């Protein structure tokens, strides 16, 4: 695996996406998300799952995309559970 700085340099030479703003514009232009729609972890995972199904890519790349999508969903669920627990605990501590 390349260090982040090296992979960014390689990608910027071949991709119009150089940061979050370009990423949003590209994703919206492709129709994967509606303009103004909220970018959430589950939505980003859905985009990856869609790409893995719709795109003619190698099995290795498809497996990597699906693996990352599942991990993003798992992290989103953990974040939600932690947030919910924190809110419940704070409500219980109130007099």
Residue pLDDT, tens place only, 24-49: 999 999 999 887 888 899 999 999 99
What is the extent of the structural domain holding 7?
1-35
One domain for residues 24 and 11 = yes
pTM of the model: 0.70
Residue 45 has a CB neighbour count (10 Å cut-off) of 20
pLDDT number for residue 72: 94
φ, ψ of residue 18 to 5 degrees: the values are -115, 0
Residue for token pair 């939505």:
43
Q: Please answer whether residues 33 and 43 qualify as being in contact, where contact means their C-beta atoms are separated by less than 8 angstroms.
A: yes
One domain for residues 31 and 47 = no
Q: If you average pLDDT over every residue of the chain, what do you get?
A: 86
How many distinct structural domains can be found in the chain? 2
One domain for residues 26 and 45 = no
- Distance of alpha carbon 17 from alpha carbon 29, whole angstroms: 12
One domain for residues 63 and 21 = no
pLDDT number for residue 78: 81
One domain for residues 49 and 15 = no
pLDDT number for residue 35: 79
One domain for residues 60 and 93 = yes
């Amino acid at each position: 695996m390349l260090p982040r700085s090296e992979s960014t340099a390689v990608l910027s030479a071949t991709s119009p996406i150089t940061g979050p703003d370009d990423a949003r514009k590209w994703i919206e232009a492709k129709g994967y998300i509606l303009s103004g729609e909220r970018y959430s972890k589950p939505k980003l995972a859905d985009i990856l799952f869609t790409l893995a199904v719709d795109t003619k890519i190698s099995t290795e790349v498809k497996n990597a995309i699906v693996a990352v999508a599942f991990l993003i969903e798992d992290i989103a669920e953990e974040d939600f559970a932690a947030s919910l627990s924190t809110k419940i605990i704070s409500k219980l501590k109130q007099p």
